[in-house]
Structure 1
Amino acid sequence: MPSQQPLKPAVLDVFCGAGGMSLGFQRAGCKILGGIDHNPHAVTTHHQNFPKCKLKLEATDIRTLEDLPSLNLQPREVDILIGGPPCQVFSRVGLGKMKHDLKWDIEKDHRNFLYKEYVRFVDYYQPFFFVMENVDNLANKKELLSTILDELAACGYKVEYEVLDSSKFGVPQRRRRIFLIGVRSDLLWEPIFPKPSGQKAFSVGDAISDLPELKPIILSLKSKSRGPRQKDCDLLYRGEPESIYQQKMRRHNGDRVRNHLCRAHNDKDLEIFKTLKQGGKYRDLPEEMMRYRVDIFDDKYHRLYWDKPSWTLTAHMRKDCLAYIHPLQTRSISVREAARIQSFPDNFVFQAPMTRMFELIGNSVPPLLAEAVAKPIVKLIRRYYSQKVTRQNDTVRSKVS
């Protein structure tokens, strides 16, 4: 680790996405060395929000990075390796969709094996800690999970896992994810996980009530267009922050809101939005308004509660946001509202087309959850470097005397 910043752990983010995990670790006191991802929109967004990274790769398939020394990051220079290999083949939703694809072969799908690339990075860089995140359903796949744990342990690590709910760590969203944490075996530490805050979970209203009201954008059913293209303009907040959560989200951002864009919907969808009560789903609609089978499309439409946390945001928001209808307004949630629900602060700006912004947010680790995971790890590493500096100073003094 660079001597000029001995108390700031260095972090490399593999499968970084937009940078939710990077941001959480940065806020916990780390220096982000760089992020690696194959998605060009994710990489552009990561570069925009972490401009001082030492490593700035273009969008890259990690499988092509065979020569790790060429990245100019030395083994042991990385204090913490973080990341979340793609999870489609581990998730309930992803598996459900792919099983209906007759051409899909689960045994040959390369996404089944991308975790091995993460293992390769752990083995090469030998960080003090690594943190790997994935969907909670991985905990139910005992054979696969055991294989992953064994491969990580074989790199010289003590590894444990826990499933964490983001709503218990200050995020206004009930999102369960598995975290695998490993610590190098030559150290006297054990894998350490954060403890829930114990406070009442923030609600959707706590998260977004200060954001400007948006009018619904109507898309004609006769038109093949995806709707009018919106310009990402700076908008003013509705007023002062109305919750502690909003104060946190607006810190260092001034008085303007970016990425506050919402999708266009046809008039039939907007009529359904008006009909559904908070918490209402497709099955709750009058029969004459139903256009799909209830047994298959039970939650195709779902209106958020104002006074409760959101349910899990997913990358499917790229396709539509019908499962995330605004609790009070006749529209689906905006990009900035989704970012707030995912705990991205307002000064974190997404650089992508609107639909891809939704995808980046849905795939992200909530920064506040990542920060909670990072804090106890950072505390241990800081103590290690502090004690190392003390020992070096004592050695110097003893030689002088």
Structure 2
Amino acid sequence: MFKINYKSDYIELKEILKIINQEYKMKYSEKKEKENISLLCQESEDVYLNNRSKEYINFLEEDNQFKKLFGTLDLENKDHYNLVKKYFNSFCNLERKKERKKNNFIDLFCGAGGLSLGFVQEGYNVNFACDFEKACIETYLFNHPNTNSEYIKLVDIKEIEHNILNFLSNKEVSVVIGGPPCQGFSIANQQRVIDDPRNELYKSYVNVVRQVKPKFFVMENVKGMLKVANQVVEDFENIGYKVVYKILNAKDFGIPQNRERLIFIGNRINIENNKIFEKIEKSRVYKTITLREAISDLKILEASRLKNKTNIISEKTGGIVIKNKNFNNNDYLSSINLNELKSIVTFNHQARYNNDRDIEIFSRLNQGDKSDDSKIADIMPYQNRSHIFKDKYYKLIYDNICKTITAHMKFDCNMYIHPTQARGLTPREAARVQSYPDDYVFKGTFTKTYMQIGNSVPPLLGRKIARVLKKYLKEEI
């Protein structure tokens, strides 16, 4: 098991307990304190939970306030329970002992788990998941407490692809999902896409599908792969799969961003895949979901003027956990949160550092304005190259869909300026646009949270695909 820094769990949980204490004004009980700490630190057969338990004990010994807060926590209160359940080893252990569901999936290149989450929300089990980015696996582990950490691996797929069956929790695989990174898309290239050295991870994906023989596979990639889509179809047909592909745009499925991705679906149970896409298309949402619907309820923040201080929780700039004071809801928020009532806490809502010049630029621009706008000509740092950097700054439009959320946000959010606040979007706002539920917590450094969110498949799109496949899998039982 790779070494995880559990300090973020401790910081988050302490803030949640403080907010619960303020909001509910619960009375302290020494008996309750001991019972709750016992549930928090329960031992487990899972290395991840056991290590977390040891760290919790260290934090409890060092921080008396943290310890005392457990005496005000009422775990019979559904709101309290829902806020802390992912942090408590006992609840994770309990969920894992429940009867396993029939359908399961393997997620290769799982990232933060957006596509996985869509399948989990439709009742599938995580059979196995892997990625080579540590922050992604930390996020995945925390947000999938029902899955034993033995089956969530920080590993390069090339190291395990040839004996993948040894890593699975269940040898009967319903679906393989994932989006292998690829670079070699040139039609002029005489080499087939699977033989191009730049596409080793795609080759690994095909190899895993060949070995585990899932009933379905779902492969997601950028539009550029359309150039070699017929080759991809041939590669999977050669191992016994019927395959079809289609470009799907997230905005057509109730997600407030323009995000086109190429989706391949294959099956080996003699189903016409065109019918699968027809059913997926029937779940299209013809009402445009706007950026306002996704983020306008979140706390107003200012850009941080302190560099490298993202561990600070501030009333003005936000933090990893802050108190939520706005409980207004709408259809989109209900949809991504599975109709759960809004929580009293908000995760990952923190404004990033910006210098004075950028904050001034953000303030002057109107919604829809870009770098070439005359209002910022006197302070625009790229004014002599505005034809190159015309999109370096862009102020988002509240009553429209958002531009595509990308991993570039880890560098800066100048192309994602909040419509009414002089700052870039926070990780939570980006996650809302990607259709992540509010209780999905992103781990790792501040910049890594943006990277994870930007590289994600929107969970809501994943859910619509998973729902259609589930109907066919049910017929197979």
Give the TM-score range, shorter chain.
0.7 to 0.9
Q: Is residue 321 of structure 2 the alignment partner of residue 257 of structure 1? A: no
**For 1:365, what is the secondary structure of its paired residue?**
coil
Q: Which residue of 1 aligns with 2:142?
A: 48
Deviations 1:182-201 (A, max 9, x none): 011x5345351211524312
Which of 171, 176, 194 lines up with 1:81 in the alignment? 176
Hey, what's the Cα distance between the residues in 1 that align with 2:295 and 2:144? 25
Q: 1:108 to 1:118 in 2, by over 3 A?
A: closer
Which of 232, 243, 265 lines up with 1:181 in the alignment? 265
Q: Which residue of 1 aligns with 2:428?
A: 336
Q: Is residue 400 of structure 2 the alignment partner of residue 308 of structure 1? A: yes
Q: 1:88 to 1:245 in 2, by over 3 A?
A: farther
Shift of 1:89: 5.7
Which of 270, 273, 296 lines up with 1:209 in the alignment? 296
Q: 1:151 to 1:367 in 2, by over 3 A?
A: same
Large movers: runs of 4+ above 6 Å: 106-109
Q: Which residue of 1 aligns with 2:229?
A: 145
Determine what percentage of the aligned residue pairs are the same residue. 38
Q: Which residue of 2 aligns with 1:239?
A: 326
Which of 311, 315, 320 lines up with 2:412 in the alignment? 320
Hey, what's the Cα distance between the residues in 2 that align with 1:159 and 1:188? 10
Q: 1:135 to 1:346 in 2, by over 3 A?
A: same
**For 1:33, what is the secondary structure of its paired residue?**
strand
Q: Is residue 444 of structure 2 the alignment partner of residue 352 of structure 1? A: yes
Q: Which amino acid aligns with 1:23?
A: L
Q: Is residue 386 of structure 2 the alignment partner of residue 297 of structure 1? A: no
Shift of 1:150: 1.1
Q: Which residue of 2 aligns with 1:69?
A: 165
Could you tell which deviates more after superposition, 28-37 or 369-378? Answer: 28-37
Q: 1:80 to 1:72 in 2, by over 3 A?
A: closer
**What is the number of residues matched between the two proteins?**
357
The higher relative CO (CA closer than 8 Å, separation ≥ 6) is in 1
Tell me if structure 2 keeps the 8 A contact 1:47–1:56. no
Hey, what's the Cα distance between the residues in 1 that align with 2:185 and 2:305? 36
Which of 154, 175, 190 lines up with 1:59 in the alignment? 154
Q: Which residue of 2 aligns with 1:30?
A: 124
Q: 1:188 to 1:166 in 2, by over 3 A?
A: closer
Q: Which residue of 1 aligns with 2:110?
A: 16
**Normalising by structure 2, what TM-score?**
0.70
Tell me if structure 2 keeps the 8 A contact 1:23–1:367. yes
Which of 444, 463, 466 lines up with 1:371 in the alignment? 463
Tell me if structure 1 keeps the 8 A contact 2:242–2:267. yes
Hey, what's the Cα distance between the residues in 2 that align with 1:258 and 1:74? 33
Tell me if structure 2 keeps the 8 A contact 1:90–1:135. no
Tell me if structure 1 keeps the 8 A contact 2:107–2:130. yes
Hey, what's the Cα distance between the residues in 2 that align with 1:152 and 1:107? 11
Q: Which residue of 1 aligns with 2:312?
A: 230
Hey, what's the Cα distance between the residues in 2 that align with 1:248 and 1:74? 31
**For 1:180, what is the secondary structure of its paired residue?**
strand
Hey, what's the Cα distance between the residues in 2 that align with 1:305 and 1:238? 24
Tell me if structure 1 keeps the 8 A contact 2:104–2:124. yes
Shift of 1:27: 1.3
**For 1:68, what is the secondary structure of its paired residue?**
helix
Tell me if structure 2 keeps the 8 A contact 1:210–1:237. no
Q: Which amino acid aligns with 2:139?
A: T
Shift of 1:254: 2.5
Hey, what's the Cα distance between the residues in 1 that align with 2:195 and 2:174? 34
Hey, what's the Cα distance between the residues in 2 that align with 1:320 and 1:382? 45
Hey, what's the Cα distance between the residues in 1 that align with 2:183 and 2:349? 28
Hey, what's the Cα distance between the residues in 2 that align with 1:128 and 1:357? 33
Deviations 1:210-248 (A, max 9, x none): 1111122125xxxxx546643444323342224211233
Hey, what's the Cα distance between the residues in 2 that align with 1:321 and 1:45? 22
Hey, what's the Cα distance between the residues in 2 that align with 1:288 and 1:233? 36
Hey, what's the Cα distance between the residues in 1 that align with 2:106 and 2:341? 25
CA RMSD of aligned residues (A): 2.3
Shift of 1:29: 2.3
Q: Which amino acid aligns with 2:471?
A: K
List alignment gaps of at least 5 residues for structure 1: 92-105, 220-224, 386-401
Q: Which residue of 2 aligns with 1:199?
A: 286
Q: 1:113 to 1:145 in 2, by over 3 A?
A: farther
**For 2:390, what is the secondary structure of its paired residue?**
coil
Tell me if structure 2 keeps the 8 A contact 1:14–1:35. yes
Instruction: Please state which structure has a larger fraction of its residues in helix.
Output: 2
Deviations 1:33-74 (A, max 9, x none): 231100011111111111222553431011111322321455
Tell me if structure 2 keeps the 8 A contact 1:86–1:111. no
Shift of 1:289: 2.4
Q: Is residue 250 of structure 2 the alignment partner of residue 160 of structure 1? A: no
Q: 1:228 to 1:363 in 2, by over 3 A?
A: closer
Hey, what's the Cα distance between the residues in 1 that align with 2:177 and 2:194? 26
Q: 1:297 to 1:109 in 2, by over 3 A?
A: farther
Shift of 1:374: 1.4
